[in-house]
Amino acid sequence: IPLIILLIVGGMALKTALPTWLVSLKTPVDFNTLAVEDVRSGLRVEGNVYVVVDTFAVEESWTEHSNGSVTPKETSKYYYIVPIGPAAFSCVGLEIPDEDAAVYADLADATWDYLTGETDALNAAPIPFEGYIAPMDEELYSLFVEWFQDTGYFGTSDAAEVRTYALPYLLTTYSTSGTYLVLGIGLAALLAALLMVLSHLRYRKRQRQAAAAEAEPPSPTSPEAVERDLERW
Protein backbone atom coordinates (compact mmCIF):
# COMPACT_ATOMS: atom_id res chain seq x y z
CA ILE A 1 0.00 0.00 0.00
CA PRO A 2 2.77 2.57 0.78
CA LEU A 3 4.24 1.89 -2.67
CA ILE A 4 0.89 2.53 -4.35
CA ILE A 5 0.44 5.77 -2.39
CA LEU A 6 3.90 6.98 -3.38
CA LEU A 7 3.26 6.17 -7.04
CA ILE A 8 -0.08 7.99 -7.00
CA VAL A 9 1.34 11.06 -5.25
CA GLY A 10 4.38 11.16 -7.53
CA GLY A 11 2.35 10.68 -10.68
CA MET A 12 -0.20 13.36 -9.79
CA ALA A 13 2.51 15.84 -8.78
CA LEU A 14 4.44 15.36 -12.01
CA LYS A 15 1.26 15.57 -14.07
CA THR A 16 0.51 18.90 -12.42
CA ALA A 17 3.98 20.44 -12.47
CA LEU A 18 5.67 19.12 -15.61
CA PRO A 19 3.60 21.07 -18.19
CA THR A 20 4.18 24.37 -16.35
CA TRP A 21 7.86 23.59 -15.83
CA LEU A 22 8.30 22.87 -19.54
CA VAL A 23 6.51 26.13 -20.39
CA SER A 24 8.84 28.06 -18.06
CA LEU A 25 11.82 26.87 -20.11
CA LYS A 26 10.49 28.45 -23.30
CA THR A 27 11.28 31.95 -24.58
CA PRO A 28 8.26 34.22 -24.02
CA VAL A 29 6.57 36.01 -26.93
CA ASP A 30 4.53 39.21 -26.83
CA PHE A 31 0.87 38.16 -26.98
CA ASN A 32 -0.04 41.56 -28.45
CA THR A 33 1.88 40.71 -31.63
CA LEU A 34 0.60 37.15 -32.01
CA ALA A 35 -1.37 36.37 -35.13
CA VAL A 36 -4.63 34.59 -34.35
CA GLU A 37 -3.46 31.43 -36.09
CA ASP A 38 -0.39 31.35 -33.81
CA VAL A 39 -2.40 31.36 -30.58
CA ARG A 40 -2.02 27.89 -29.09
CA SER A 41 -1.90 26.09 -25.78
CA GLY A 42 1.46 25.84 -24.01
CA LEU A 43 2.89 29.07 -25.41
CA ARG A 44 4.75 31.21 -22.88
CA VAL A 45 3.72 34.85 -23.26
CA GLU A 46 4.38 38.30 -21.86
CA GLY A 47 3.33 41.84 -22.61
CA ASN A 48 1.11 44.67 -21.44
CA VAL A 49 -2.64 44.28 -21.03
CA TYR A 50 -3.99 47.50 -22.52
CA VAL A 51 -7.70 46.59 -22.68
CA VAL A 52 -9.97 44.48 -20.48
CA VAL A 53 -13.43 44.22 -22.03
CA ASP A 54 -15.31 42.69 -19.10
CA THR A 55 -15.41 39.79 -16.66
CA PHE A 56 -17.34 36.75 -17.86
CA ALA A 57 -16.95 34.30 -14.96
CA VAL A 58 -15.69 33.94 -11.40
CA GLU A 59 -14.54 30.87 -9.50
CA GLU A 60 -16.08 30.54 -6.03
CA SER A 61 -15.63 27.97 -3.29
CA TRP A 62 -17.57 27.12 -0.12
CA THR A 63 -17.95 24.27 2.35
CA GLU A 64 -21.18 22.41 3.12
CA HIS A 65 -21.26 20.86 6.59
CA SER A 66 -23.14 17.71 7.60
CA ASN A 67 -25.62 19.77 9.65
CA GLY A 68 -26.70 21.60 6.51
CA SER A 69 -24.84 24.85 7.17
CA VAL A 70 -22.77 26.43 4.41
CA THR A 71 -19.73 28.66 4.75
CA PRO A 72 -19.73 32.03 2.94
CA LYS A 73 -18.63 31.87 -0.68
CA GLU A 74 -15.09 32.97 -1.39
CA THR A 75 -13.98 34.12 -4.83
CA SER A 76 -10.59 32.69 -5.78
CA LYS A 77 -10.31 33.61 -9.49
CA TYR A 78 -11.71 36.13 -11.94
CA TYR A 79 -11.99 35.54 -15.68
CA TYR A 80 -11.74 38.57 -17.94
CA ILE A 81 -12.06 39.10 -21.69
CA VAL A 82 -9.08 40.61 -23.50
CA PRO A 83 -8.47 41.24 -27.21
CA ILE A 84 -5.48 39.47 -28.74
CA GLY A 85 -3.41 39.88 -31.88
CA PRO A 86 -2.39 42.94 -33.90
CA ALA A 87 -5.95 43.57 -35.10
CA ALA A 88 -7.28 43.15 -31.52
CA PHE A 89 -10.57 41.83 -32.84
CA SER A 90 -10.40 38.23 -31.63
CA CYS A 91 -10.57 37.67 -27.88
CA VAL A 92 -9.29 35.21 -25.30
CA GLY A 93 -9.86 34.79 -21.59
CA LEU A 94 -7.59 36.12 -18.86
CA GLU A 95 -7.43 34.17 -15.58
CA ILE A 96 -6.47 36.31 -12.58
CA PRO A 97 -6.26 35.34 -8.89
CA ASP A 98 -8.44 37.26 -6.48
CA GLU A 99 -5.55 39.21 -4.97
CA ASP A 100 -4.70 40.73 -8.37
CA ALA A 101 -8.27 41.39 -9.50
CA ALA A 102 -8.65 45.01 -8.34
CA VAL A 103 -6.23 46.52 -10.85
CA TYR A 104 -7.82 44.56 -13.70
CA ALA A 105 -11.28 45.65 -12.57
CA ASP A 106 -10.14 49.29 -12.81
CA LEU A 107 -8.84 48.71 -16.33
CA ALA A 108 -12.11 46.97 -17.25
CA ASP A 109 -14.11 49.97 -16.02
CA ALA A 110 -11.89 52.35 -17.98
CA THR A 111 -12.19 50.19 -21.09
CA TRP A 112 -15.98 50.08 -20.85
CA ASP A 113 -16.16 53.86 -20.40
CA TYR A 114 -14.06 54.26 -23.54
CA LEU A 115 -16.08 51.73 -25.58
CA THR A 116 -19.39 53.36 -24.61
CA GLY A 117 -18.10 56.84 -25.43
CA GLU A 118 -18.07 58.19 -21.90
CA THR A 119 -14.38 59.00 -22.23
CA ASP A 120 -12.21 59.85 -25.24
CA ALA A 121 -9.25 57.79 -24.03
CA LEU A 122 -8.44 54.89 -21.77
CA ASN A 123 -7.88 56.49 -18.40
CA ALA A 124 -5.97 53.58 -16.91
CA ALA A 125 -2.39 52.41 -17.13
CA PRO A 126 -1.59 49.12 -18.93
CA ILE A 127 -0.84 46.13 -16.74
CA PRO A 128 2.33 44.07 -17.29
CA PHE A 129 1.54 40.37 -17.63
CA GLU A 130 3.65 37.24 -17.84
CA GLY A 131 2.30 33.71 -18.07
CA TYR A 132 1.27 31.17 -20.65
CA ILE A 133 -1.65 30.19 -22.86
CA ALA A 134 -3.83 27.37 -21.57
CA PRO A 135 -6.96 25.76 -23.07
CA MET A 136 -10.35 26.68 -21.64
CA ASP A 137 -12.42 23.82 -20.29
CA GLU A 138 -15.81 23.23 -21.87
CA GLU A 139 -17.87 24.83 -19.10
CA LEU A 140 -15.80 27.99 -19.01
CA TYR A 141 -15.78 28.32 -22.79
CA SER A 142 -19.58 28.05 -22.83
CA LEU A 143 -19.79 31.03 -20.46
CA PHE A 144 -17.26 32.86 -22.63
CA VAL A 145 -19.33 32.37 -25.78
CA GLU A 146 -22.58 33.23 -23.97
CA TRP A 147 -21.19 36.61 -22.94
CA PHE A 148 -20.57 37.53 -26.59
CA GLN A 149 -23.97 36.22 -27.61
CA ASP A 150 -25.74 38.26 -24.92
CA THR A 151 -23.85 41.49 -25.61
CA GLY A 152 -23.59 41.25 -29.40
CA TYR A 153 -19.95 42.35 -29.12
CA PHE A 154 -19.09 40.80 -32.49
CA GLY A 155 -22.31 42.03 -34.07
CA THR A 156 -23.95 38.62 -33.93
CA SER A 157 -25.56 36.24 -31.45
CA ASP A 158 -24.92 33.17 -33.58
CA ALA A 159 -22.78 30.78 -31.49
CA ALA A 160 -20.93 29.32 -34.47
CA GLU A 161 -19.94 32.76 -35.72
CA VAL A 162 -19.00 33.95 -32.25
CA ARG A 163 -16.64 30.97 -31.86
CA THR A 164 -14.61 32.12 -34.85
CA TYR A 165 -13.58 35.20 -32.87
CA ALA A 166 -13.91 34.03 -29.25
CA LEU A 167 -10.90 31.72 -29.03
CA PRO A 168 -11.02 28.86 -26.47
CA TYR A 169 -7.81 29.89 -24.70
CA LEU A 170 -6.79 31.52 -21.44
CA LEU A 171 -3.91 33.77 -20.57
CA THR A 172 -2.95 32.49 -17.14
CA THR A 173 -0.11 32.99 -14.68
CA TYR A 174 2.10 30.44 -13.00
CA SER A 175 4.37 30.36 -9.97
CA THR A 176 7.90 29.10 -10.65
CA SER A 177 8.55 28.44 -6.96
CA GLY A 178 5.27 26.58 -6.59
CA THR A 179 5.99 24.56 -9.72
CA TYR A 180 9.44 23.57 -8.45
CA LEU A 181 7.96 22.59 -5.08
CA VAL A 182 5.34 20.31 -6.61
CA LEU A 183 7.90 18.92 -9.06
CA GLY A 184 10.27 18.17 -6.17
CA ILE A 185 7.52 16.40 -4.24
CA GLY A 186 6.69 14.28 -7.28
CA LEU A 187 10.30 13.32 -7.94
CA ALA A 188 10.91 12.55 -4.25
CA ALA A 189 7.82 10.33 -4.10
CA LEU A 190 8.83 8.41 -7.22
CA LEU A 191 12.42 8.06 -5.97
CA ALA A 192 11.14 6.69 -2.65
CA ALA A 193 8.96 4.23 -4.57
CA LEU A 194 11.96 3.14 -6.67
CA LEU A 195 14.12 2.61 -3.57
CA MET A 196 11.31 0.61 -1.99
CA VAL A 197 11.10 -1.65 -5.05
CA LEU A 198 14.89 -2.12 -5.17
CA SER A 199 14.98 -2.94 -1.46
CA HIS A 200 12.24 -5.52 -1.93
CA LEU A 201 14.06 -7.07 -4.88
CA ARG A 202 17.29 -7.35 -2.85
CA TYR A 203 15.36 -8.96 0.00
CA ARG A 204 13.79 -11.49 -2.34
CA LYS A 205 17.20 -12.22 -3.88
CA ARG A 206 18.68 -12.96 -0.42
CA GLN A 207 15.72 -15.22 0.32
CA ARG A 208 16.28 -17.20 -2.87
CA GLN A 209 20.01 -17.51 -2.16
CA ALA A 210 19.32 -18.76 1.37
CA ALA A 211 16.76 -21.28 0.12
CA ALA A 212 19.16 -22.52 -2.54
CA ALA A 213 21.93 -22.93 0.05
CA GLU A 214 19.66 -24.99 2.32
CA ALA A 215 18.55 -27.23 -0.55
CA GLU A 216 22.11 -27.90 -1.78
CA PRO A 217 23.45 -31.37 -0.64
CA PRO A 218 26.58 -31.24 1.54
CA SER A 219 29.99 -31.85 -0.03
CA PRO A 220 31.41 -35.39 0.41
CA THR A 221 34.46 -33.88 2.11
CA SER A 222 32.44 -31.97 4.65
CA PRO A 223 32.33 -33.20 8.31
CA GLU A 224 28.63 -34.04 7.93
CA ALA A 225 29.37 -36.38 5.03
CA VAL A 226 32.19 -38.10 6.95
CA GLU A 227 29.96 -38.71 9.97
CA ARG A 228 27.28 -40.34 7.85
CA ASP A 229 29.86 -42.53 6.11
CA LEU A 230 31.26 -43.70 9.48
CA GLU A 231 27.81 -44.55 10.75
CA ARG A 232 27.19 -46.78 7.73
CA TRP A 233 30.34 -48.72 8.54
Beta strand extents in 5-89 (DSSP E only): 29-30, 44-49, 54-61, 74-84
Separation of alpha carbons 86 and 198, rounded Å: 56
**AA identity, residue 188:** A
Q: Which of 82, 77, 19, 22 lies closest to 49 in space, CA to CA?
A: 82
Q: For residue 108, give every residue at least 6 positions away whose Cβ sits within 8 Å of its Cβ, in sequence order, or none.
A: 52, 53, 54, 55, 80
Tell me the per-residue pLDDT of 177-206, one tens digit each, with 9 for 90 and over. Answer: 566 677 677 777 777 777 778 877 787 777
Q: Which of 115, 184, 132, 181 lies closest to 23 in space, CA to CA?
A: 132
DSSP β-ladder status, 44-49 and 127-135: antiparallel
Is the separation of the CB atoms in 131 and 45 below 8 Å? Answer: yes
> What is the model's pLDDT at position 21?
59
> What is the model's pLDDT at position 115?
83
- Rounded to the nearest 10 degrees, the angle between the axes of helix 2-24 and helix 176-215 is 140
Top pLDDT among 212 and 127 is at 127
Query: Does the pLDDT value for residue 211 go beyond 90?
Result: no
Tell me the per-residue pLDDT of 69-118, one tens digit each, with 9 for 90 and over. Answer: 777 777 889 999 999 877 778 999 999 998 888 999 999 999 989 888 88
Separation of alpha carbons 56 and 59, rounded Å: 11
> What is the model's pLDDT at position 222?
53
> What is the model's pLDDT at position 232?
47
Q: How confident is the model at residue 217 (pLDDT cuts 50, 70, 90)?
A: low
Q: Which of 159, 153, 141 lies closest to 92 in space, CA to CA?
A: 141
